[in-house]
Chains A and B, each alone.
Chain A
Amino acid sequence: MQLAVWTYEGPPHVGAMRVATAMQDLHYVLHAPQGDTYADLLFTMIERRGKRPPVTYTTFQARDLGKDTASIFQNAARDAYERFAPKALLVGASCTAELIQDDPAGLAEALELPCPVIPLELPSYQRKENWGAAETFYRVVRQLVDRDIRPEPREGRRPLVNLLGPCALGFRHRDDVLEVRKLLWNLGIDVNCVAPLDAAPDDIRTLGRADFNIVMYPEVGGEAARWLDQALHQPAIRTVPIGVGATREFIAEVAALAGVDATEALADQQSRMPWWSRSVDSTYLTGKRAFIFGDATHAIAAARIAHEELGFEVCGLGCYNREFAREMRAAAALYGIEPLITDDHLEVEDAILNASPELVLGTQMERHIAKRFGIPCAVISSPVHVQDFPARHNPQMGFEGANVIFDTWVHPLVMGLEEHLLTMFRDDFEFSDEAGPSHLHGAARRHEGESAPAPSVPLAVEVAAAQVSHGDLAEARPAGSQISWTAEAEQELRKVPFFVRGKVRRNTEAFALLQGRGAVDLATLYDAKAHYAR
């Protein structure tokens, strides 16, 4: 058993629902008890879908067990077919139905429904949501693809591709599809099918018409693309165009595979991010410590952007989906850090505290952790939240996605000049450091000692990330601290901005202990600063 207070991923049948809900003319009959219908609200509330997910839950009860749960399943499947007339039917079990072993596949087959029936085997006690989505999409593709449909002769037509992976409840999938379409349009490439998002079974049938596949989200589309490569010899582009560098590579790879000229697509005038990052106003971003956690694809992409395109230091990197542990380890090695691969948010919280980042890039869970500790934060990955479905266009992919990312990550940080002013004029009664950065709505308002690791401070005592571990940030001093401060040093400490004051105190005391100094005076304070200086 595993103790969980909160989970990054739902069970695998929720992954299957994400595929079913994304598609058209598909219905999913899920053998499940009352209560599992909660999953509907993920789609209708978080994503604000105006339609119920195409899922029929058999809703068996305790009194049905050992009697007629099988016939309940068959009736539900028959009724669902009659009512919704789907072009294909997914059948499967949720965690409880898996235990009663009714064999939805066999039961559905016995009904001889006049549409393809796709049985799903999703082991609920081993696997999770992303795996369930990938497996479901793979099963759908494998069963519905017409292997006789192959690309037309290449002469006299534009190249044709499939976009695989966009899904319901995906992080910005809707907007990313538009951006990737734009990139392909600039390359003179047409899209055969986007799947599963908005694809009907008939669209899946003709996937083979495309020259190659683009795996936008390996978490969902990876398995299906692998099979298409094997069975139909359809190659796949696996570079995910998140960030300027990755987008350029994506364009180059796609152009090479399609045999088209990439020059025009690479010269996109709407790509502002490189100049925004090079402009002097961004100098203060240099070396900001970023902690990154999310699904593997988004986290790895974010690390590259942080490192190469914004000049941050990646001080933590990890993902919650173990299926991508290998990719994650390879990425972390680039930054010389140990990757954090866990689905325990408490472990992530500890890692964040130990890393003392100045910016957290994570999921909604990391946003909450960061908020609690007053660390600026931006969301880069699912699990999704209603705020991750903005009304406006807000992509992550392509050049526009990189523009969006620049804004989203940089705005939570204390701006360059504001950072200096906070330090220089902290005695101004209206400009008190207790007010916190003007754009953070007082979220950073906290007292000395409560403070979290936060933006670096150029003019005052600057202490880089501590090597000391500092357990609970809310503690003003390390427990049992024997170090006393001279009045002068204490006075000087008050001039350090509130958001690093606690850290400065801890580091200075740790330094004093290390040096065997019994008290902290002015010299110790500045010696410590020099000691920890980057």
Chain B
Amino acid sequence: MSPGENVLGCAPAAQPQVLRERGQREVFCGLTGIIWMHRKMQDAFFLVVGSRTCAHLLQSAAGVMIFAEPRFATAIIEERDLAGMADCQDELDRIVDKLLTRRPEIRTLFLVGSCPSEVIKLDLGKAAQRLDSKFAGSVRVLNYSGSGIETTFTEGEDACLTALVPEMPSADAGEAANLLVVGALPDIVEDQFKRLFDELGIGPLHFLPAKRMAELPKVGPNTVFLLAQPFLTETTGALQRRGAKRLDAMFPFGAEGTTDWLRAAAEAFGIDRMHFNRVVAPGRERAKRAIAHRRERLEGKRITFLPDSQLELPLARFLHTELGMMPVEVGTPYLNRELNARELVLLPASTRLSEGQDVDLQLDRVRLDRPDLTVCGLGLANPLEAEGLSTKWAIELVFSPIHGFEQAGDLAELFARPLRRRDILRV
């Protein structure tokens, strides 16, 4: 296909074929979500119950040494715990005591399950219950699993938020409609969205996760929610079971995605269309202007996503519809057709969708396809660059503010920079 051809909206008539593979997965496990979750939830502490590998993963994936003491740690299971010389539950109590003495400001403690804790069937639910009643009133103790045998990368956030849903206070059926934005967002993005919803006249507005446990919003039959992230399958189910309704929308990436996302809320709250356009127009125009600067470099370029964060589908849609890029293969660890329905129809019919991974086979395809840009994890980026393929680190898409109008240009820039760099280097 020549560049620029078939760029816009060739919606495939039928459900697209999906290539499903299983084999070696070059993806983080769900524990990795702790790296951003622990900064988002300011009175929460994440205690991974796992092995030295878990601790090493967290420090390596974060890619940083510790400046401020992080609000996460690992209770490393040792030989004597496995040999039954020490009772794991007692050990856990001892460690939690030590931890809470050191960090008295902690209000929520997450016991986070790992592969080893799941395999030895260490009951963290029971531990959480026991510790929760022990510290009743001062610290809420919850648990979820971020293990690699059950969760892939961003599914860790999904599991964490799912654990929070039962903690949300109930809203009465008689209460006014309220909007919940679900998924951890950088503070600056949250504030931008808050201003927009205010101007639109939509409220009360809350975010999940909240910055503090005490600010955890109410939920009930009059709650409608917008997903800020596409990977929140379980959280969605849990909220729906509490009566909340999901607003179907594109994800808020780029001018179009953000507009569609905001519009879904505006329609649910019966906001006047003229008013909506008036409020949204300045941000939307700014986003379009910012994106236009990058379009020249990206238009017609072919891009492949290797599975990483589940952001792949909405990002491919953004790059295709707003920047004219051509998705070659869009891989995702898990494809939720329902949540991504509006994204899927906007991808060109030629897109090869893949779910799961056999990394060797997938890299064979990348070498055959030779896309202009491959979005992949840190373990694969330099090896692909060394083969002459330009890459974009997927993890940057999770760790930087990319949602909303004001970040649309930055998001485009993340993809444009590797290509620009390739073009300017003369070494």
Contacts and interface: CB of A to CB of B under 8 A. Distances in A.
A459 B386 CA distance: 56
Contacts of A275: none
Contacts of A99: 82, 116, 119-120
Nearest to A13: B53
Interface in A34-82: 34-42, 44-45, 48-52, 56-62, 65, 76, 79
B172 to A, nearest CB: 39
A10 B148 contact: no
Interface in B11-62: 22-32, 49, 51-53, 55-57, 59-61
A62 B150 contact: yes
A40 B75 contact: no
B61 to A, nearest CB: 6
Given A1-B77, A40-B26, A99-B120, A51 B379 contact: no
Interface stretch (A119-127, A264-272, A409-417): A119-127
B70 A10 contact: no
Most buried by B among A2, A56, A57, A96: A96
A35 B148 contact: yes
Given A50-B386, A128-B52, A33 B78 contact: no
Contacts of B29: 33-36, 38
A385 B55 CA distance: 17
Most buried by B among A1, A14, A367: A1
Given A3-B98, A11-B51, A59-B24, 19 more contacts: A2-B75, A3-B74, A11-B56, A35-B147, A36-B53, A36-B57, A36-B148, A40-B26, A40-B378, A40-B380, A41-B379, A44-B382, A50-B386, A57-B24, A58-B24, A94-B53, A96-B53, A96-B116, A96-B148
13 contacts: A1-B92, A3-B73, A5-B66, A7-B56, A7-B59, A11-B52, A35-B29, A44-B382, A57-B24, A76-B24, A99-B82, A124-B53, A385-B65
B69 interface: yes
A372 interface: yes
Contact of B55 (A4, A51, A58, A94): A4
A391 to B, nearest CB: 12
B378 A11 contact: no
Interface of A: 1-7, 9-11, 13-14, 33-42, 44-45, 48-52, 56-62, 65, 76, 79, 83, 94-96, 99-100, 123-126, 128, 364-365, 367-368, 372, 385
A38 B148 CA distance: 11
- Which are the 10 A-B pairs with shortest beta-carbon distances? A35-B29, A35-B148, A40-B379, A50-B386, A96-B115, A41-B378, A95-B51, A10-B56, A34-B148, A33-B148
A367 B115 CA distance: 32
Contacts of B69: 5
B27 A34 contact: yes
A123 B149 contact: no
A50 B385 CA distance: 8
A193 to B, nearest CB: 26
Interface string B335-366: 00000000000000000000000001000000
Contacts of A42: 60
Interface in B70-97: 70, 72-79, 81-82, 86, 88, 91-92, 94-95
A274 B26 CA distance: 50
Contact of A38 (B75, B94, B360, B379): B379
Interface in B369-395: 377-383, 385-386
Contacts of B75: 1-4
Interface in B282-302: none
A62 B118 contact: yes
Contacts of A100: 119
B63 interface: yes
A7 B55 contact: yes
A44 B381 contact: yes
B286 to A, nearest CB: 34
A61 B150 contact: yes
Nearest to B333: A34
A57 B57 CA distance: 15
B145 to A, nearest CB: 9
Contacts of A5: 66, 69-70, 72-74
A52 B59 contact: no
Contact of B25 (A37, A65, A83, A123): A37
Contact of A125 (B51, B60, B95, B149): B51
A44 B149 contact: no
Nearest to B153: A35
Contact of B28 (A38, A58, A76, A124): A38
